[in-house]
């Protein structure tokens, strides 16, 4: 996606095999074949160039050696469609590129974007100043005719030599190592609960299982349980993964997922914010050393004004492999709605971040409950938990009825 950040970064780069800066617009409409051939030659040369990332031609910009190039602007704007038809009607194979007119610093400029693609590309016959069946290539900041050795190497595994990682983000089940649908359906239970001041203290009448153990009562257990149940029934975990379908390793992969708050009705949190299940009592021996070692999570959620920002990082993703993020993020809504997740994928090898979109359909139910209703919901949660499953397995092993 071409935006102001990309243009600003290009203005600080020097001309070469990935960038050309032009003060004047190409002559195209009502131009002679010789004049049109200038545009054709530049597109062919960049397409055949030996480079590791996408190439750009900025029109309406003057190069400043050793500094930020100057945006001058242009008045003559072209359309992408006739340029596409013109170029691809003359080449031996389709050329992938785009022409865009954009506004930057209050001035109109144009950008031609040429991604890496199979080579060589050449004209089927002579046109204007250009020769047919001749491979033009960008070398440094100038254009030349490729020699036989260069042309031979162009056809050998271009994706392997100059490829870019093909990164894709998707919803996942990290335990089963499977991909989930791009549209997820969730249910949010919006609870109206008693005020904290009306909730009684928890009273414990139990004893420690061993004489050497201490039993500490959590008098705020009921109040903590109410808050935990409200959150755990409102939001549900979603896991993601990023796969690399390309032929080279992606390094320093970073994901940004933007979720609109929708006036505060949409709630998103990470594992750090998601509360632990409260305990009514705490058992420990007096000589036990307790440590509060911070836990590192691989997904973080940040409140950015009108939207939530979900961020995740992976040091690298090997070709044809998947990085499964172990931690989820949690999402819910105070009303029924379809939420769009705007995903941006960054990597050292991606000159332009990749954009994706997911959707989460949430059906919200409002319910008023008292303390007994909260305790019933907690009992239902416990029966479905891994903790209960372990308890059942232990009970069966020891033959306890």
pLDDT tens per residue, range 352-379: 788 898 899 999 999 999 999 999 999 9
Contact 258, 308 (CB under 8 A): yes
pTM of the model: 0.59
- Close Cβ partners of 109 (under 8 Å, ≥ 6 residues apart): 7, 58, 59, 60, 61, 71, 73, 74, 101, 102, 103
Can you give 232-264 as a three-state secondary structure string?
HHHCEEECEEEEECCCCCEEEEEEEEEEECCCC
The CA distance from 212 to 217, in Å, is 16
Q: Decide the pairing of beta strands 19-22 and 55-59.
A: parallel
Q: Tell me the pLDDT tens digit for each residue of 61-76.
A: 999 988 999 999 999 9
Contact 150, 139 (CB under 8 A): no
- Strand ranges in 105-182 using DSSP code E only, listed in sequence order: 107-114, 136-139, 142-145, 167-173, 178-179
The CA distance from 96 to 117, in Å, is 7
The CA distance from 37 to 55, in Å, is 19
Helix, coil or strand: residue 221: helix
- The distance of Cα 235 from the centroid of its chain, to the nearest Å, equals 21
The CA distance from 41 to 144, in Å, is 10
> Tokens 């989820």 correspond to what residue?
328
Domains of the chain: 4-162 (3.30.950), 167-397 (2.60.40.10)
Contact 259, 311 (CB under 8 A): no
- Close Cβ partners of 147 (under 8 Å, ≥ 6 residues apart): none
Q: What is the DSSP letter of 25?
A: P
The CA distance from 56 to 113, in Å, is 5
Predicted confidence pLDDT, tens digits, the chain (401 residues): 678 888 999 999 999 999 999 999 999 999 999 999 999 999 999 999 988 788 999 999 999 988 999 999 999 999 999 999 999 999 999 999 999 999 999 999 999 999 988 899 999 999 999 999 999 999 988 999 999 988 888 875 444 444 678 899 999 998 888 999 889 999 999 999 999 999 999 887 766 665 656 778 889 999 999 999 999 999 999 999 999 988 788 888 999 999 999 888 999 999 999 999 998 887 665 655 555 656 678 899 999 988 999 999 998 898 888 999 999 999 999 999 999 999 999 988 787 788 898 899 999 999 999 999 999 999 999 888 877 788 777 777 777 66
The CA distance from 352 to 53, in Å, is 9
Contact 69, 23 (CB under 8 A): no
Both tokens assigned to 225: 């349980």
Contact 322, 250 (CB under 8 A): no
Contact 339, 265 (CB under 8 A): no
Q: CB atoms < 10 A from the CB of 270, how many?
A: 20
């Amino acid at each position: 996606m071409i935006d102001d950040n990309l243009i600003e970064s290009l203005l600080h780069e020097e001309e070469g095999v990935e960038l050309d800066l032009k003060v004047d617009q190409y002559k195209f409409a009502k131009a002679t074949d010789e004049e049109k051939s200038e545009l054709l030659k530049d597109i062919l040369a960049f397409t055949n160039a030996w480079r590791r990332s996408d190439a750009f031609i900025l029109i309406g910009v003057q190069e400043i050696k050793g500094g930020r190039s100057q945006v001058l602007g242009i008045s003559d704007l072209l359309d992408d469609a006739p340029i596409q038809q013109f170029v691809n009607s003359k080449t031996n194979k389709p050329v992938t590129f785009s022409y865009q007119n954009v506004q930057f610093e209050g001035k109109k400029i144009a950008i031609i974007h040429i991604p890496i693609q199979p080579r060589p590309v050449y004209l089927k016959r002579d046109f204007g100043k250009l020769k047919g069946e001749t491979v033009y290539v960008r070398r440094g900041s100038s254009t030349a005719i490729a020699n036989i050795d260069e042309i031979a190497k162009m056809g050998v595994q271009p994706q392997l030599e100059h490829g870019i990682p093909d990164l894709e983000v998707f919803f996942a089940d990290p335990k089963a190592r499977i991909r989930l649908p791009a549209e997820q359906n969730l249910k949010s239970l919006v609870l109206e609960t008693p005020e904290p001041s009306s909730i009684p203290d928890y009273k414990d009448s139990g004893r420690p299982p061993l004489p050497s153990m201490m039993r500490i009562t959590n008098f705020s257990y009921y109040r903590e349980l109410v808050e935990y149940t409200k959150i755990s029934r409102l939001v549900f975990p979603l896991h993601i993964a990023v796969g690399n379908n390309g032929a080279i390793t992606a390094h320093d992969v970073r994901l940004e997922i933007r979720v609109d708050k929708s006036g505060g009705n949409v709630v998103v949190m990470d594992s750090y914010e998601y509360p632990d299940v409260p305990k009514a009592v705490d058992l420990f021996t007096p000589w036990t050393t307790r440590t509060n070692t911070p836990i590192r999570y691989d997904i973080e959620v940040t409140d950015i004004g009108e939207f939530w920002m979900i961020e995740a990082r992976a040091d690298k993703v090997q070709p044809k492999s998947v990085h499964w993020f172990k931690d989820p993020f949690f999402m819910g809504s105070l009303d029924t709605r379809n939420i769009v997740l705007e995903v941006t994928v960054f990597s050292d090898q991606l000159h332009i971040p990749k954009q994706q979109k997911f959707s989460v359909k949430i059906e919200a139910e409002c319910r008023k409950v008292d303390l007994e209703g909260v305790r019933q919901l907690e009992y239902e949660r416990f029966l479905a938990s891994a903790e209960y499953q372990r308890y059942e397995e232990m009970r069966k092993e020891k033959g306890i009825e």
